[in-house]
Amino acid sequence: MVQTRSKTKAEALAKALEIEEEEERKAQGELTEVDYSKVTLFRNPITTVVTLIKVLINLVIATPGFILRHYLIFTLVPGAAAAFHYLDGPHTEYKPLLEEQFFFGVWWVGLGVASSVGLGTGLHTFMLYLGPHIAKVTMAAYECNQAPVSVPSQWSHQSFAPCEKFEGSTPTITVTEIFWCVIIEASLWGLGTAIGELPPYFISKAAALSGKKDEEL
């Protein structure tokens, strides 16, 4: 009973000290109540632009320290990429193929990220790129009655090698064969959408760890 009372008194005292410190900070102008729903580019252009500039300045200041903390990544990876691209060796004959596959992956992952982020426009790259690509593959497959073969160095245009048109009444190509023709593009695009969702996750996690509640988050 005595320990319980002591604990209750200690908690009450700590709470009172916390309230007192908060009131002192408010009196000194360190805390300001901000209605974030009203802080927009059109209602408060100066506040929004100034805040953006402050954030960019903080990012620029923090960048050198981040690079120094991860110097191995920022030295080994670009060095290896430059050596692969500019130096000749046994890998030279495979260089065009590997570069083509690299840009192929960057293209579809980037479209996935753009679809998730949207840049404030609601941009959905499935409707603009992946969906039409799947439709194009499907039509080419039924037209030729075989899985279409992509033309090299056309990673952003989805061109296919020419084939003889199917003259029969019912194509024999199956949905499974078409599925395997687009699974890589669809998976890379899905990976990009997942990567695009990481920033709000980390922001929410940081807010939770800080012990503060923010209605905007």
Tokens of 190: 């899905």
pTM for this structure?
0.63
Q: Bigger pLDDT: 81 or 151?
A: 81
Span 64-104, pLDDT tens digits: 888 888 888 888 888 888 888 888 888 788 888 888 888 88
Q: How confident is the model at residue 10 (pLDDT cuts 50, 70, 90)?
A: low
Q: Are 193 and 124 in contact (CB under 8 A)?
A: no
Q: What is the total residue count of the chain?
A: 217
Q: Measuring CA to CA, which residue among 188, 174, 187 is closest to residue 138?
A: 174
CA distances for 76 relative to 80, 83, 157, 160, angstroms: 6, 10, 32, 37
Mean pLDDT of the chain, nearest integer: 78
Q: Check residue 119 and give its pLDDT.
A: 59
Q: CB neighbours (10 Å) of residue 129?
A: 20
Q: Which of 9-13, 128-132, 189-193 ranks highest by mean pLDDT?
A: 189-193
Q: What percent of the chain has pLDDT over 70?
A: 73
Helix intervals (H) in the chain: 2-27, 45-69, 71-86, 95-117, 125, 131-144, 175-196, 198-210
Span 162-213, pLDDT tens digits: 777 777 777 788 899 999 989 999 999 999 999 988 888 887 777 777 766 5
Q: Check residue 31 and give its pLDDT.
A: 42
Quick one: CA dihedral 34, 38, 40, 45, positive or negative? negative
Tell the burial category of 181 from Cβ atoms under 10 Å away from its Cβ (0-12, 13-18, 19+).
Answer: buried
Contacts of 178 (CB under 8 A, 6+ apart): 137, 138, 141, 147
Q: How confident is the model at residue 142 (pLDDT cuts 50, 70, 90)?
A: confident
Span 25-34, pLDDT tens digits: 555 544 455 5
Q: Check residue 26 and give its pLDDT.
A: 57
CA distance between the termini of the chain: 41
Location of structure tokens 């320990």 = 3
**Cα within 13 Å of Cα(80), Cβ side:** 6
Q: Which of 91-100, 110-119, 132-141 ranks highest by mean pLDDT?
A: 132-141
Tokens of 108: 């579809």
Q: Measuring CA to CA, which residue among 156, 106, 152 is closest to residue 128?
A: 156
